[in-house]
Structure 1
Amino acid sequence: MRDHDIVVYGATGFVGALVAEYLAGHSPDGVRIALAGRSGERLASLRQRLGVDWPVIVADASDADALAAMAGSARVVVTTVGPYAKYGRALAHACAAAGTDYADLTGEVLFVRQSIDENHELARSTGARIVHSCGFDSIPSDLGVHVLHQRVAADGAGELTDTTLVVTSLRGGFSGGTIDSMRHQLDVVRRDRDLKRIAASPYSLSPDRAAEPDVGRQEDHVSLRGAEVDPTLRGNLAPFVMASYNTRIVRRTNALRQYAYGRRFRYREVMSVGTSPLSPLIAAGTKAGLAALVVGLSLPPTRFVLDRILPKPGEGPSEQARREGHFTIDLYTRTTTGARYTARFRAKGDPGYAATALMLGEAALALAADRDSLPPSEGGVLTPATAMGDALVDRLRTAGVEITARNLSDPAGKN
């Protein structure tokens, strides 16, 4: 019997406090939660502000013994402490060794690749589910394709082929932690060409690159017309900043499921820039802007300027801004039978803060409280879909997130 069902690590950080607040308001009776971080004083202050009597655990990210003790005391550890390549490696390993389920918010390709190499077989031996990317990175992408595939399979409509995620609308921003993770990864790949090649590979998170089917080139950042994705789409589509990470999580899911989505499954992510006459220019400008941001963060003079403008770790928008944020994501696919399907993942709240806190909070509860409903697994470094699947989909729907899928080829328009 472990002392805690869920430990929230990094609870006094901006996003960590939002996750703790979410759990304080939405956890079922009897779920035993603890707050963890570097400062006992700040943790006690947060506990008082939340009005809970949860235990406090003091553990520094550099203290392997403290992290091991914390992991051994919990059934599930969720962490918001990044950049994960810098601060998350020891904790993920401690959880894998202790047989403790783990969930984080990382969007760092190299960290997850390292975690797979270090922890996958260990976690399989202990039964731990090590689940990366349980926020806006990459639950909408991973679960969106999951429900799309389920609907196609239920209809007997074949397998998925070309599949595109479209960010239809979005209001909100990216956290300072996300920007800091980007900085850290750029620093690493600049110094190491081998790591740069890993980060650039579309299958960098796949369990066996040699086993991946040859589906041709898969580009991360593309600009195209909506009609190239589906005849019902109008306007133009620009690259989505998180595509280079989310796509790799979705491809890992397909591989871990023995290519259940299909051997011809191709996946990409874009965002809508509208239907105005200027939208082609906006799409091209967005693609150029993303490239410029990467270059700017890689060069000391421009990075100095950007660091003064971009949000810093621990910073975030006001409560009103978080509440007024939202996002709508639509996915489109063609199947091997020629049918067209779409799925939608829509939530209220700023994607990088309020919605992410909800998603990580519900992921923690799914791992801790829904053991009998989780997909069969021997453990390992998993994805949200392979670790939690329908259990998390059901929880998110109950929490107010719209997750649907339907057949676009159905002339009656039935869901």
Structure 2
Amino acid sequence: MVGTAREHDVVVLGATGFVGTLVAEHLALAAPAGARIALAGRSRDRLTRVRALLPAPARAWPLLVADTDDDASLRALAAATRVVVTTVGPYLRSGLPVVEACARAGTHYADLTGEVPFVRRAADTHGEVARATGARLVHACGYDAVPSDLAVLLLHRRVAADDAGTLGHVRLVASARGGVSGGTVASVRGVAELAVRDASVRRLLADPYALSPDRAAEPSTTQPSDAPAPGRTVDGRWVATSPMGSFNTRVVRRSNALQGWAYGRDLRYEEVAATGRGLRGAAAAVGLSVGLPLALAALMVPPTRALLDRALPAAGTGPDAATRRAGWFRMGVHAVTTTGRHYRALAAGHGDPGYAATAVMLGEAALALALDGDRLPDRAGSLTPATGIGDVLVERLRAAGHTYEAAER
């Protein structure tokens, strides 16, 4: 396991990027006195400028030069710290060398990926090494997929405590207000381009158990569609395809399998996005359900992709401070157990979900990995937020002002 002799507790790799700077800002405000944090990136000059703009506790943080194209720099980085938290994406392009360096060094790792092919490759190529060295490689530590993953974990905990069977049908309904960054666009584009070229990637993306640690052992339970037909309502609100549901659902199912299918082998898990009530909500539901696949298709075709590139945010940019402050997310999760009992969970928070709230989630995940080792689940390898950090992350996020709760209805 990671020893205490390392020079740093947490290194933020990609600290000069849009989200990386937000994560560094959260750590400067939230990390306890004595936490040894460093900033890393390709340019010392840019790191110096970013550090000067951070809250006062960060002004003395060390600066480390590292590049995802330079394996030697990544090996040195991983060997010097207990945790690497990376915002350098798209992860399919830049992430695997960082995962490899951490796995080999026995260094804990956390990222913000929403890319199914990346998580699959990272698990397949570096999971065994990480288990041997004791490294926790925790993917999806932002809005995708922390609220989903932890909400279902809490439902499982409550159902088990009540001896109410196991989870059967679970539906998450997401509501949120926020913006989009160039990094998110680049990530979606990268997956879309790969899917066009590689039929195996298209099959992976279509597989509801794409991230399972043991695909052959998965149950034959039919999972809900990632793209429900328009026209559904839940609790009087219209719902539509959730933009990140096809990723988050795979993470939750991986969490179930990594825990020996503790949530239940009958688990049927789905995510939808709430669009509102009345005619306006209905129109938004149709627009989202139809527009999302059309936008993905457009990203796969060079001529339309070039047009979208002119309209979408550029790399390194994102929502302004006012948008980030005004944002919020709220995820209501309804579960029916195998004994017919009904439970409800809520995951909610303030701030733009993909950026302000995500910086809190990733920052707290990094602090948990670095400072709460004796309370973390006894696991190593390629993990999810629920299986790699679990209840400790729930506690930290509650303390940061987010809501995580579960109860019988």
Same amino acid, percent of matched pairs = 53
Q: Give distance in 1, aligned partners of 2:140 and 2:284.
A: 29
| 1:19-56 deviations in Å (ceiling 9; x for gaps) | 00110011001110000000001111222222320111
- Residue 413 of structure 1 corresponds to none
What secondary structure is seen at the aligned counterpart in 1 of 2:278? coil
Cα deviation for residue 271 of structure 1 reads 1.1
- Residue 382 of structure 1 corresponds to 383
Unaligned runs of 5+ in 1: 409-415
- Residue 29 of structure 2 corresponds to 25
Cα deviation for residue 175 of structure 1 reads 2.2
Correspondence 1:155-174 to 2 at 5 A:
155-167=162-174, 169-174=175-180
- Residue 204 of structure 2 corresponds to 198
What secondary structure is seen at the aligned counterpart in 2 of 1:277? helix
Matched residues, number? 402
CA contact (8 A) 2:232 2:240 kept: no
Structure 2 residue corresponding to 1:188, chosen from 186, 194, 198: 194
- Residue 370 of structure 2 corresponds to 368
CA contact (8 A) 1:223 1:237 kept: no
TM-score (norm 2): 0.96
Moved more, 155-164 or 218-227: 218-227
Q: Give distance in 1, aligned partners of 2:374 and 2:152.
A: 23
Cα deviation for residue 300 of structure 1 reads 1.4
CA contact (8 A) 2:223 2:269 kept: no
- Residue 248 of structure 2 corresponds to 246
| 1:334-393 deviations in Å (ceiling 9; x for gaps) | 00110111100110000111000000000001101111111111x100000000000000
CA contact (8 A) 2:223 2:268 kept: no
Residue 6 of structure 2 is aligned to residue 2 of structure 1: yes
CA contact (8 A) 1:330 1:343 kept: yes
CA contact (8 A) 1:223 1:287 kept: yes
Residue 343 of structure 2 is aligned to residue 337 of structure 1: no
TM-score (norm 1): 0.95
Say if 1:146 and 1:152 are closer, same or farther in 2 by CA, change over 3 A.
Answer: same
Residue 217 of structure 2 is aligned to residue 211 of structure 1: yes
CA contact (8 A) 1:223 1:236 kept: no
Q: Give distance in 2, aligned partners of 1:312 and 1:221.
A: 28
Q: Which amino acid aligns with 1:366?
A: A
Q: Give distance in 1, aligned partners of 2:49 and 2:313.
A: 25
- Residue 393 of structure 2 corresponds to 392
What secondary structure is seen at the aligned counterpart in 2 of 1:395? helix
CA contact (8 A) 1:226 1:234 kept: no
Moved more, 15-24 or 368-377: 368-377
Cα deviation for residue 275 of structure 1 reads 2.1
- Residue 322 of structure 2 corresponds to 320
Unaligned runs of 5+ in 2: none
Residue 406 of structure 2 is aligned to residue 405 of structure 1: yes
Cα deviation for residue 284 of structure 1 reads 2.6
Structure 1 residue corresponding to 2:150, chosen from 95, 118, 143: 143
What secondary structure is seen at the aligned counterpart in 2 of 1:273? strand
Cα deviation for residue 225 of structure 1 reads 6.3
Aligned Cα root-mean-square deviation (Å): 1.2
Q: Give distance in 2, aligned partners of 1:265 and 1:224.
A: 24
Residue 43 of structure 2 is aligned to residue 39 of structure 1: yes
Q: Give distance in 1, aligned partners of 2:181 and 2:338.
A: 39
Cα deviation for residue 156 of structure 1 reads 1.2
